Amino acid sequence: MSTEVPELDGAPLFLVDEVPDVPELLVDGQEGRHAVDVLRLQPGERVHVGNGDGTLAEGDVVAAGPEGLRVAVRARFEVPAPDPEFVLVQALPKGDRGPLAVDLATELGVDRIVPWQAARCVTRWRDDRVGKGVAKWRAAARAASKQSRRPRLPEVTEPMTTREVAGLLADADLAVVLHEQARRPLAGLTVPTEGTVVIVVGPEGGLTDGEVVAFRAAGAEPVRLGPEVLRTSTAGAAAIAALSTRTRWH
């Protein structure tokens, strides 16, 4: 099995629970129906099949029908986790902007997403709706991973409190809080090339003074992205892209 990262350009990615080491794979269920009925893949076309945790098989379609997609495996890869790890602490946005924030961050390379119930969040996940909210974010991460052909899905954790977020920041190799009033630009920071980088994005109403104090006490640095004030649903993705140009995108 190769640890070389394969080129996924042009070939669709299908996510399954397991990628066994066998000469032929069956992609069935919802993924198989999508391949056959929507993408209308035909024998001879190249595809990738992954488990979302770095294991990836490259192969050719040998049959497409009611049972799903049969793929003759040409090569298997074990794609390592990228360095540094990017963690996005995302305050709950209004409406469908939560899944949008997850979608954009996933396409741009986030590795872990932490929903955060900030003090000024308009959206509230009541105890009986936490599971539904997390499931919706995870579905968005999965769909965006397939769209961007990522071999590794980002983890979407259970929601964290402000105290739990502060603990996460304290353990990071670099922790930043996006704040429109911060004097220091994100571009002015020294970014580690390994370890964990945590980015905190506040809600539409902004961070409270108490949250900023708590996060600074945990070692986080308030920074600004640029002269414009971005929406909470796009700020995290913009920060990840800016950090990626200095670490991963070579």
**Structural domain ending residue among the three candidates 78, 110, 135:** 78
Question: Does a structural domain hold residue 102?
Answer: yes
Q: Mark whether 112 and 19 lie in a shared domain.
A: no
Q: Mark whether 74 and 89 lie in a shared domain.
A: no
**Structural domain ending residue among the three candidates 53, 78, 103:** 78
- CATH, residue 71: 2.40.240.20
Question: Does a structural domain hold residue 74?
Answer: yes
**Which pLDDT tens digit goes with each residue over 88-145?**
999 999 888 999 999 999 999 999 999 999 999 988 898 888 999 999 999 999 999 9
CA atoms within 13 A on the CB side of 161: 2
Question: Does a structural domain hold residue 4?
Answer: no
HEC readout, the chain: CECCCCCCCCCCEEECCCCCCCCEEEECHHHHHHHHHHCCCCCCCEEEEECCECEEEEEEEEEEECCEEEEEEEEEEECCCCCCEEEEEEECCCCCHHHHHHHHHHHCCCCEEEEECCCCCCCCCCHHHHHHHHHHHHHHHHHHHHHHCCCECCEECCCECHHHHHHHHHCCCEEEEECCCCCCEHHHCCCCCCCEEEEEECCCCCCCHHHHHHHHHCCCEEEECCCCCCCHHHHHHHHHHHHHHHHCCC
Q: Mark whether 18 and 99 lie in a shared domain.
A: no
Question: Does a structural domain hold residue 5?
Answer: no
Q: Mark whether 29 and 130 lie in a shared domain.
A: no
Q: Is the pLDDT of residue 2 over 90?
A: no
Which residues form the domain of 64?
13-78
Task: Look at residue 5 in the predicted model and tell me its pLDDT.
Answer: 57
- For the chain, percent of residues with pLDDT exceeding 90: 78
Cα(23)–Cα(55) distance, rounded to whole angstroms? Answer: 15
**Structural domain ending residue among the three candidates 58, 78, 98:** 78
Question: Does a structural domain hold residue 70?
Answer: yes
How many domains are there within the chain?
2
Q: Mark whether 28 and 101 lie in a shared domain.
A: no
Task: Look at residue 227 in the predicted model and tell me its pLDDT.
Answer: 83
State the pTM of this model. Answer: 0.90
Q: Mark whether 103 and 212 lie in a shared domain.
A: yes
**Which pLDDT tens digit goes with each residue over 208-219?**
999 999 999 999
Q: Mark whether 62 and 160 lie in a shared domain.
A: no
- CATH, residue 190: 3.40.1280.10
Q: Is the pLDDT of residue 4 over 80?
A: no
Question: Does a structural domain hold residue 8?
Answer: no
Q: Mark whether 203 and 239 lie in a shared domain.
A: yes
Q: Mark whether 161 and 202 lie in a shared domain.
A: yes
**Which pLDDT tens digit goes with each residue over 93-102?**
988 899 999 9
pLDDT-derived band at 51 (thresholds 50, 70, 90) equals very high
Q: Mark whether 157 and 96 lie in a shared domain.
A: yes
Q: Mark whether 60 and 103 lie in a shared domain.
A: no
Q: Mark whether 118 and 194 lie in a shared domain.
A: yes
Question: Does a structural domain hold residue 3?
Answer: no
Question: Does a structural domain hold residue 194?
Answer: yes
pLDDT-derived band at 1 (thresholds 50, 70, 90) equals low
